[in-house]
Amino acid sequence: MCGIAGFALAPGAARSGFDGAGLTALVRALAHRGPDGAGHSMVGRVGLVHTRLAIIDLDGGDQPLFAGAAALIANGEIYNDLALRASLPEVRFATGSDCEPPLHLWLRDGQRYVDSLRGMYAIAIHERGTHTLTLSRDPFGIKPLYVAEAEDGIAFASEPQALLSAGLVERRLRGEARDELLQLQFTTGRDTIFQGIRRVLPGETLHVANGRVIDRSRIPAFAEGPAEAIGETEALARLDRALEESVSLHQRADVPYGMFLSGGIDSAAVLRMMSRLGRSRVQAFTAAFDVPEAADESAQAAVLAKAAGAHHEVLRIDEAMVWRHLPDIVASIDDPVADYAIIPSWLLARRARRDVKVILSGEGGDELFAGYGRYRSAMRPWWMGGRPMRRRGTFDGLGVLRGSGRAWRSGIAATELNNAGGRSRLAAAQASDMTEWLPHDLLLKLDRCLMAHGIEGRTPLLDPVVAEAAFRLPDHLKVRRGMGKWLLRRWLETQMPEARPFAPKQGFTVPVGAWIAAQGDRLGPLVAAQEGVAEIASPDRVHALFRNAAGRREQHAAWTLLFYALWHRTHIQARLPAGDVFETLSA
């Protein structure tokens, strides 16, 4: 896991910012992603930057990597590294890095080299002879990659803030994306909230020549077509093989690793397989909140850890801790996600970094195995009470924002329409979430919160073999008796009965709403006075929202405005955190 960045200039382009000083600025901006070293290459009109978090081949895996006329930089892990090396008997590898085989595959197969990769990655390859640049991202979108196209050429980076900090793009906001963020919690599609910065989409490969994107191709994360015909016994056996293979590959590391453990199904499945493989004693980390009424899964997580023989640590998060660190937490989320789960993710990563450099987590289980309650609603036709997902925005009906249109839903609506053909209602809902919610909220949150502390996050449930075993299951093996994730629950029932997979679950919540309500009179005026918030809402409405933040919807809206106020200060106004929440908003 690392940081990558660089640029490719058009012929005759001015080099202002696109030079050695520009590369140095990119290195500084991405240093947190790669605290173990940095490398760069400047050949002709193409510059490459790499900051390294050393996980595999600690001594010999520095980048850029070179072979023939090509150079590669990569952020991620290639889990089928050993199999790829065996498939290239003619190659004399120079390192033990898992990122070297992709370079030789590119020399052999060109842009189709990604067809052979199994892993999470953002890769840039410069071919000196043809003066071309190839940019690729993994199919699930686990690893981020952004591009900025201008008259002088194209720049790319693992994080938008690197492009902004290096002065390669101006700090200008896209109003459409801001409205989407406020109503939806994240932003959809290719365009980011920053004017001039776009995402390389999950599974996409861009071919750049003379500083221009001349071709795009894309590989899917999940299969097309209707559900397959398979029985429960066969499906369970296939799932067991897939989980064992995936978790085994995801544990490959030359550094200590552990996992984030809740009391839920997904992390329990990962824990059970890690324990079953028996590589080493599992180190498990759990977040809990020092609030009596908050949902607390730490006791169930302790039961699971004991059953697996894992070393277990619980981090108790209190209100003072959140107010103290929230400005820094939000500052790490440059591509904004107003998901309150950023709080425990960031704080847990901060604690785990003392013991490990790699964390496995259960992200992707709900999307692949159909765990969300909204899926069960989406399965039903409208005349039976079915409802489309995300039909109502956070601020709808609250009268807080000056604009109250429905344009914020256009991105999600287009994705839903695109994923509807040839699938059941359930599979279409899953596909929409895997297209937008998964990469642009959950995985983005995991990447930024862990990389802020120099930790690699791995998601063994988001693996091609696991996806093949799960996504095209018939609906009755996903949802049954009002429960989602049926097949995964059945597997866990036999493998780890202590998980109680069919017991009612509390769900994971962060009590930030209650904390905001307790501080509403103090926070309301501070949030209302922020430049970003004043542009979209009148002060009296903001004051009233925070003062009366007793209901769940009002608390969620207040949290979203608080997040946005802090985010706008840092990433649009370029004002660094100045202490805790109250000190920062007062500065």
**99 counts as catalytic:** no
| Token representation of residue 272 | 């059970």
Q: What is the pTM of this model?
A: 0.96
The confidence score (pLDDT) of residue 162 equals: 97
**Which residues 6+ apart lie within 8 Å of 280 measured at CB?**
none
The confidence score (pLDDT) of residue 385 equals: 66
CA distance from start to end of the chain = 35
**Which residues 6+ apart lie within 8 Å of 59 measured at CB?**
none
The confidence score (pLDDT) of residue 403 equals: 78
Cα-atom radius of gyration of the chain, to the nearest Å?
Answer: 23
Q: Which long-range contacts link 106-109 to residues 24+ away (Cβ below 8 Å)?
A: 106/70, 106/72, 106/134, 107/67, 107/68, 107/70
DSSP H helix total and E strand total for the chain: 24, 17
Does residue 229 contact residue 169 with C-beta atoms inside 8 Å?
A: no
When the candidates are 1.10.357.10, 3.30.70.1350, 3.40.50.620, 3.10.20.30, the CATH number that belongs to 232-499 is 3.40.50.620
Distance from CA of residue 404 to its chain's centroid?
A: 29
What is residue 294's DSSP assignment? S
Helix (H) or strand (E) holding 217: strand 212-218
The confidence score (pLDDT) of residue 151 equals: 86
Closest CA to 132 of 181, 78, 70, 63: 70
Q: Three-state SS for 438?
A: helix
Distance from CA of residue 254 to its chain's centroid?
A: 23
Q: Where in the chain is the domain with CATH 3.40.50.620?
A: 232-499
Q: Three-state SS for 98?
A: coil
Domain topology for 2-218: Glutamine Phosphoribosylpyrophosphate, subunit 1, domain 1 (3.60.20)
Closest CA to 72 of 114, 32, 31: 114
Q: Which residue is associated with the tokens 């050695």? A: 20
Q: Three-state SS for 300?
A: helix
Q: Which of 2, 55, 206, 523 is catalytic?
A: 2
Query: Along the 587 residues of the chain, how does pLDDT read in single tens digits?
Result: 699 999 999 988 876 667 778 889 999 999 999 999 999 998 888 999 999 999 998 888 899 999 999 999 999 999 999 999 999 999 999 999 999 999 999 999 998 999 999 999 999 999 988 889 999 999 999 999 999 998 889 999 999 999 999 999 999 999 999 999 999 999 999 999 999 999 999 999 999 999 999 999 999 998 888 889 999 999 999 999 999 999 999 999 999 999 999 989 999 999 999 999 998 899 999 999 987 666 778 999 999 999 999 999 999 999 999 999 999 999 999 999 999 999 999 999 999 999 999 999 999 999 999 999 899 888 887 766 667 888 899 999 999 999 767 889 999 999 998 888 789 999 999 999 999 999 999 999 999 999 999 999 999 999 999 999 999 999 999 999 889 999 999 999 999 999 999 987 666 578 888 899 999 999 999 999 999 999 999 999 999 999 988 888 999 999 999 999 999 999 999 999 999 999 999 99
The confidence score (pLDDT) of residue 503 equals: 87
Half-sphere exposure in the Cβ direction for 383 (13 Å, CA)? 0
CA dist 214 and 341 (Å) reads 38
Angle made by CA atoms 343, 347, 353, in degrees to the nearest 5? 145
Q: Where in the chain is the domain with CATH 3.60.20.10?
A: 2-218
- Whether omega before 64 lies within 30 degrees of 0, making that bond cis, reads yes
With both helix axes pointing from N to C terminus, report the angle between 265-277 and 486-495 in degrees, rounded to the nearest 10: 40
